[in-house]
Amino acid sequence: MATTPIISFQSGPQVTVNDWIKTPYRVPRYTLDLMQQGFLVDAVLRTEGACPSGVVLYNESSPLYGGNVIEDRPEFGEIPVGQFGLGTPKAAYSRDKSIGVVISEEMHDRNNVDMMMLGMEQTSNDMTKTWDDLFINIALANAGVQTFTAASHWNTSGYDVRSDWASIMKLIEGAQDPQGSELGYICDTVILSRTSKYDIIRSKDFNDDVKYGNVASENLRYTGKLPNQIMGLDVLVSPRVPAGKAIFMARRTAGFISDEKPLFSTPLKYDEDRPGWRCNIRRKAAIGIDQPKAMVVASNVS
């Protein structure tokens, strides 16, 4: 079979806008793939299942232990029924977040692939930003979420940042219910803003943890990036966290997301009213923080 020699990167087969629109599911699939791994909300909240009615009823701050004293059962004795307590009744309502991806006739006629790709990328980023902002705003507005104010910014020379982190982790893992029983949370995740990320890298407290031998290259001064874990916490960085704040939490314990309509897209179709092709990206879900004491919002960190 004859082959076409490739002289430069532009000499090979070129993908056109027409190649994209002639397959109705290609644009939706590509856009959804861009979003799929980008949701912070799905990374830190547990999936609570469907909410077909558009509302999720839940109990806030229900204890993780029932307080039952389980004794030895004598022969022929009845097995006692465990007792359990519920927190304050609350409701979370689903929110419909939708946006259309558009390929105009001009993009098609002029084969403007770059403009088409930019539109898909920006649309996917806007959708993930919308849901992550919603989660952050709900968390910051919840009066039950614990707070911690750093005595100094985390890039202050000589300031003991690790002491702050230990105090915050103690707040979560030592949290108690109204009866004085420990709730049993395990703090395993911190979400930093991009500003705080670089403040940690600049922190003398962290940079003084110099590594020697064959791991010297892992030092923050050398890498310019944070490790995946610090003090046993998974470290996530999100531009959605406001500057000056950081969120510590028991991952998949503090809250939930419940999909009424999971993230999906309609097939690409021609729109006669606005000449061009479009598909609609939608997600309809409810977010709730049902264990607010499993989360701490730290302030004044940068």
> Quick check: is 70 in a domain?
no
Q: How far is CA 64 from CA 58, 87, 186, in A?
A: 14, 10, 12
pLDDT of residue 5: 53
The CATH number of the domain holding residue 244 is 3.90.1690
> Quick check: is 72 in a domain?
no
The pTM of the full predicted model, rounded to 2 decimals, is 0.84
Tokens of 154: 């985390």
Nearest one of 185, 117, 179 to 145, comparing CA atoms: 185
> Quick check: is 47 in a domain?
yes
Number of other residues whose CB lies within 10 A of the CB of residue 39: 19
> Quick check: is 4 in a domain?
no
Amino acid at residue number 11: S
pLDDT in tens, the chain (302 residues): 455 554 444 544 578 999 999 988 999 999 999 887 789 999 999 998 888 899 999 988 877 677 778 888 888 988 888 877 788 899 999 999 999 999 999 999 999 999 999 999 999 999 999 999 999 999 999 999 999 999 999 988 888 899 999 999 999 999 988 777 788 899 999 999 989 988 887 777 666 654 434 444 444 544 456 777 888 999 999 999 999 999 999 999 999 999 999 999 999 999 999 999 999 999 999 999 999 999 999 999 98
> Quick check: is 27 in a domain?
yes
> Quick check: is 6 in a domain?
no
Number of other residues whose CB lies within 10 A of the CB of residue 263: 19
Which residues are bridge partners to 160 per DSSP? none
What is the per-residue DSSP string for the chain? -------STTSSPPP-HHHHHTSTTHHHHHHHHHHHTT-HHHHHSEEEEE-TTSEEEEEET--SS-----PPPPTTPPPPPPP----EEEEEE-EEEEEEEEEEHHHHHTT-HHHHHHHHHHHHHHHHHHHHHHHHHHHHH-TTSEEEE-SS-TTSTT--HHHHHHHHHHHHHT-B-TTS-B------EEEE-HHHHHHHHH-HHHHT----GGGGGGSHHHH-S--SEETTEEEEE-TTSPTTEEEEE-TTTS-EEEEEEEEEEPPPEEETTTTEEEEEEEEEEEEE-S-GGGEEEEES--
pLDDT of residue 8: 42
Nearest one of 1, 3, 290, 302 to 153, comparing CA atoms: 302
> Quick check: is 123 in a domain?
yes
Contacts of 199 (CB under 8 A, 6+ apart): 153, 154, 155, 301, 302
For the chain, what is the domain count? Answer: 1
Contacts of 148 (CB under 8 A, 6+ apart): 164, 167, 168, 171, 296, 297, 298, 299
pLDDT of residue 61: 81
* Residue 30, domain extent: 17-60+92-299
CB 165 within 8 A of CB 171: no
Tokens of 193: 């803003």
Nearest one of 245, 262, 268, 201 to 20, comparing CA atoms: 268
> Quick check: is 71 in a domain?
no
